[in-house]
Amino acid sequence: MKLRGLYAITDSQLLADGRLLPYVEAALRGGVRLLQYRDKSDDDARRLREAQALLELCTQYGASLLINDDLELAARLGVGVHLGLADGSLSAARALLGPQAIIGASCYASLPLAEQARAEGASYAAFGRFFESHTKPGAPAATHELLEQARARLKLPLVAIGGITQERAPALIASGASLVAVVHALFSAEDADEVEQRAQAFGQLFAHH
């Protein structure tokens, strides 16, 4: 799968009260082809149910699903995983999930971390947060210059994350982000139709590059 475009990440608060599946389906209708299930709770039974339902939707729309943090759940479902520095070994994930799996690595604001992630078999390097984020306020700050350096030095798709809006995305894409990962600016919508429109609008930003 081509790692380019809008990368949607779920949020358990924004997508509470029955919104998870209709809002994610709207994002898929709007063109999202990469989805991360991010749920920081330890309700394993609900996490399994939700991830299974998301996988069905992704399969229907030809999209790829990644699980945040939880390699075991990713392996159980046969999908990808996104790992931060404290979430376990990338090479162990690659060994378990196999050569085709999408494995994402958080590299915060560090090129050396991205180089190491690449050596361990990551499919993309994620940098950020780039802007203030409601979703993860404490994340370390990255700059457009870092993204440009990463583009020059690393042969790996780059993800930008953190406070990204439709207005802010074009400069990040121009600096080398092949994916922009978004929670709030996609899923804070009033209804599913608005999610679909927002996803489409983000997708169009990639057509011009």
Ligand X SMILES: Cc1ncsc1CCOP(=O)(O)O
Strand, helix or coil for residue 180: strand
Which 74-93 positions form the footprint of Mg ion (CB under 5 A)? 84, 87
CB-wise, 40 or 209, nearer to Mg ion? Answer: 40
Which 137-166 positions form the footprint of ligand LCLJCK34 (CB under 6 A)? 159, 161
CB of 124 to ligand LCLJCK34, least distance (A): 8
Q: Which two tokens stand for residue 4?
A: 């380019």
Whether 135 has a binding-site annotation, put simply, is: yes
H/E/C letters for each residue in 46-81? HHHHHHHHHHHHHHHHCCEEEEECCHHHHHHHCCEE
Q: How many residues bind ligand LCLJCK34 (CB under 6 A)?
A: 14
Binder to ligand LCLJCK34 among 19, 47, 82, 198 (CB under 6 A)? 82
Roughly how many angstroms between the first and final C-alpha of the chain, as a whole number? 18
CB-wise, 29 or 136, nearer to ligand X? Answer: 136
Which 57-76 positions form the footprint of Mg ion (CB under 5 A)? 69
Residue 183 CA to residue 5 CA, distance in Å, equals 14
Q: Which two tokens stand for residue 181?
A: 């990962």
The strand pairing partners of 125, in sequence order, are 105, 158
Q: How many CB atoms lie within 10 A of CB 147?
A: 24
Residues that bind ligand X (CB under 6 A): 128-129, 133-136, 139, 161-164, 182-185
Contacts with ligand LCLJCK34, residue ranges (CB under 6 A): 36, 38, 68-69, 82, 84, 87, 104, 106, 126, 136, 159, 161, 181
